[in-house]
A and B are shown apart, each in its own frame.
Chain A
Amino acid sequence: MQQVMAVDPKKNRITEQIDENLKLVYEGLLKEQVPDRFKQLLAQLKAKERGE
């Protein structure tokens, strides 16, 4: 098969796979349920300020 350019596809594949896996890690974490305590904290901060 003919090599296109001087780029070694093997090396590119490693970088691509790393980035692909990084995205999977990050996307997996994004799907995590965010604990309610953060929403409660924001609500408390807001309520406190209104009360002042």
Chain B
Amino acid sequence: MKSAVQKTEPHGCASGTAMDPRDEIITYLPRLRAFGISLTGNFAAADDLVQDTIVKAWSNIDKFQPGTNMQAWLFTILRNTFYSDRRKHRREVPDPDGLHAASLFELPAHDGKLAFKDFHRAFLQLSAEHREVLILVGASGFSTEETAAMIGIAVGTVKSRTSRARKRLAELMGLEREQVTSLADIGTQAVMSRSGLSLV
């Protein structure tokens, strides 16, 4: 076995980090996979996406700007791959009933009032575009600006898409329509400053 001592890459930049940024990819695998499953609603499809993302990231590392957010870069590759595959195959995703992941979402009791299973089912009924913004903004902690850059749309579009996605999700869960639509009328400024929501 060769020495485990890390060698300086011959083509690594002399100044700054000598480390190959690709060594960091491994640390993002759980997040990439979680994002992939959220987008596809399907484990096998998500794993294929992650695999393609790894290969693309590896061979295109020269396009990664050191010092920028690698997670955002990897997520962008993954979602671009997802949408371009979908255009090619015209395949509709996902299949909530066939999703064997259902048991995966059996989590221990939590404080939320909404039944988690219902939530999960409703989530999978959303369009991939809606799931995408909800996961990026609502769950994985990206800012609307970062999300806009990753998706390649305007910040305002991210905001309106996120609020429509939340609204649709609430509808799918059978929450009172009045309650849901009135999300739009709450002191809008307060909501905007609090959660970045902007309703059109």
Contacts and interface: CB of A to CB of B under 8 A. Distances in A.
A41 interface: yes
Most B Cβ at <10 Å: residue of A5, A34, A41:
A34
Nearest to B175: A14
A4 to B, nearest CB: 11
Contacts of A26: 34, 38, 135, 139-140
A23 B138 contact: yes
Main secondary structure of the interface of B (DSSP, over half): helix
Given A17-B112, A32-B30, A38-B50, A6 B38 contact: no
A50 to B, nearest CB: 9
Query: Contact residue range for chain B?
Result: 35 or more
B186 A21 contact: no
Given A5-B187, A29-B34, A32-B30, A24 B112 contact: yes
Given A17-B114, A21-B116, A26-B139, A34 B186 contact: no
B54 A15 contact: no
A21 B190 contact: no
Interface in A35-49: 35, 37-39, 41-42, 45-46
Contacts of A7: 186-187, 190-191
Contact of A20 (B22, B54, B112): B112
Contact of B138 (A18, A28, A39): A18
B197 to A, nearest CB: 7
A41 B190 contact: no
Interface in B22-42: 22, 25-26, 29-31, 33-34, 37-38
B184 to A, nearest CB: 9
Contacts of B107: 24, 28
Contacts of A45: 22, 54-55, 58
